[in-house]
Amino acid sequence: MKFSFRKAALASAASLAMTIGAMAQADDVRVATDPSFVPFEMMDQASGEMVGFDMDIIREIGKRAGFEPKINTMDFNGIIPALQTGNVDIAIAGMTITDERKQVVDFSDPYYDSGLQLLVGVDNDDVKTVDDLAGKKIGTKIGSTSFDFLTDKFGSDATITPYPGSADMYMALIGGSVDAVFYDAPNVGYFSQTRGKDRVKVVGPLYEGQQYGIAFPKGSDRVDAVNKALAAMREDGTYDEIHAKWFGKAEE
């Protein structure tokens, strides 16, 4: 058979292009998030892009760990199933690290300290702590640790309504459908100072000290690279800069 350098060169070029294409595709990582957990993740109506604390964190991690985050938005209660089925590679959505969740997904090192907090109408002086919620109607978010907390504490002694999105439960509070909302402190606080200003107020202490983690399918080989990127961000001050952008200066 007559050997053709031209054909060999074309074949080599095609092979190289396929390899580069595969590498570029491999660098695209599917990241799941919940678009309603402000200010951690929310849709910027002007640009049509997801923005927020978590979005800045995962994009910076991607730069350092060598991948491009491709953001997939979904309801919070669908995120862990999406990880388990392999439909996404990473999830960052203000997700609390719990022993129960660790049985089905892997977590990064903690990247945010949080807790649960109580929100009531601005004129409500009857509810000051969670103990005052017995017999009340309470809104929270489906699939959240706040829902687990409430059901464990009250059982049938309170009417607990899990909403699919945080905006839904806040509107239920303002509209009088529930007496209080119980949910993650940063989200509750952010709403009270933005859309809920002068209409709602945060009351009571911080409950259930929690830590948020980035979630992965069990056995993911990306956990170590993400942890190294997080550690480097804390070391060089990048984490504090992102935190200050969304929450003010981090406490010493």
**Above 90 in pLDDT, residue 165?**
no
Whether the CB-CB separation of 185 and 208 falls below 8 Å is answered with no
**pLDDT tens readout for residues 101-160:** 999 999 999 999 999 999 999 999 999 999 999 999 999 999 999 999 999 999 999 999
Provide the CA 235 distance to its chain's centre, in angstroms: 23
pTM: predicted TM-score of the whole model, two decimal places: 0.74
Q: Encoding tokens for residue 28? A: 């695209």
Peptide bond into 39 cis (omega under 30): yes
pLDDT of residue 248: 66
How confident is the model at residue 36, as a pLDDT? Answer: 87
Over the stretch 195-236, which tens digit does the pLDDT of each residue have? 999 999 999 999 999 999 999 999 999 999 999 999 999 999
Give 63-95 pLDDT, tens digit per residue. Answer: 999 999 999 999 999 999 999 999 999 999 999
| Single-letter residue type at 148 | D
Tell me, rounded to whole angstroms, the distance of Cα 119 from its chain centroid. Answer: 20
* 23 has pLDDT over 90: no
**22 Cβ contact partners less than 8 Å away, ≥ 6 residues apart:** none
Q: Where are the beta strands (DSSP E) in 93-158?
A: 105-107, 112-121, 137-141
Give the whole-angstrom CA distance, residue 68 versus residue 53: 17
**pLDDT for residue 193:** 84
What is the distance between the alpha carbons of residues 135 and 48, in angstroms, rounded to a whole number?
Answer: 42
pLDDT classification of 247: cutoffs 50, 70, 90: confident
